[in-house]
Amino acid sequence: MSLRKEILEVSRSMLIEKGFGKMSMRKIAAAANVSATSIYLHFKNKDELLLALMEDSIAQLAEALSNSINGNGDALYKLETLADTFLRFALERPQEYEIIYMVRPEEMPKFPKDKFQHIRKVYEMLADIIEEGRQQGQLDVDDPLVSAYTLWAQLHGIVSVILSRRLDTRIARDKFIEQAKDQIIQGFITQKTPV
């Protein structure tokens, strides 16, 4: 196996086991039985390594999302399913979620296109679903792509509050998630205001 791959593997498992904060170049190197400087032969710096991990996690999340909607159901159902899958992914694999959405490689180049192809595809898939729902009069949105990002941002907000331990201890986590999900979805549904 190439050293590059090995570095990626050990850093990923280190990330998952110990969390992002305890990942250091030297520890990664030690785990791969190699000197710390060797990492720099394969990655420009720590941020680039992080981006590579990110790319991979994004691909996995994108796949989980794609798989969860296997064609059947109407737009609304699909939206709910996607929201569920997203929340489950985030809460079951918090460390991986973290590097996708919470870690900030310093001065992260604004959306380096190539690295974010996968997640862009997800947004576009989502936008398509929203558009479908709009045409069927089920959803009430303005710009579908913007709506896709909005939905995602809202879900991220929910996850973020939980993962960063900012949720009031008086509130049960599951109840919070359920209610939040309902409320978010409801924001997309066409209002049937009686004339």
Q: What is the 3-state secondary structure (H, E, C) of 149-186?
A: HHHHHHHHHHHHHHHCCCCCCCCCHHHHHHHHHHHHHH
Give the pair of three-digit tokens for residue 76.
């609304």
Query: If contact means CB under 5 to 8 A according to the sort of partner, which of DNA, a copy of itself, none does residue 35 touch?
Result: DNA
Q: How far is CA 94 from the centre of its chain?
A: 10
Q: Which stretch binds a copy of itself (CB under 8 A): 43-51, 60-68, 81-89, 183-191?
A: 183-191
Nearest residue to 99 via CA among 154, 67, 60: 60
The four Cα atoms 186, 148, 144, 124 give a dihedral, to 10 degrees, of -140
Angle 19-9-152 (CA atoms, 0-180°, nearest 5)?
A: 55
Query: Binding of a copy of itself at residue 1 (CB under 8 A)?
Result: no
Figure out which of the listed residues 1, 2, 70, 106 binds a copy of itself, where binding follows CB under 8 A. Answer: 106
**Residue whose tokens read 């994108």:** 62
Cβ 141 to a copy of itself shortest distance, Å: 7
Q: Which of residues 20-39 bind DNA (CB under 7 A)?
A: 23-27, 34-38
List the one residue from 102, 115, 125, 132 that touches a copy of itself (CB under 8 A).
Answer: 102
**Near a copy of itself in 11-70, by CB under 8 A:** 21
Chain positions contacting a copy of itself, by CB under 8 A: 21, 101-102, 104, 106, 108, 110-111, 120, 123, 140-143, 145-147, 149-150, 152-158, 160-161, 164-171, 175-176, 179-180, 183-189, 191-194
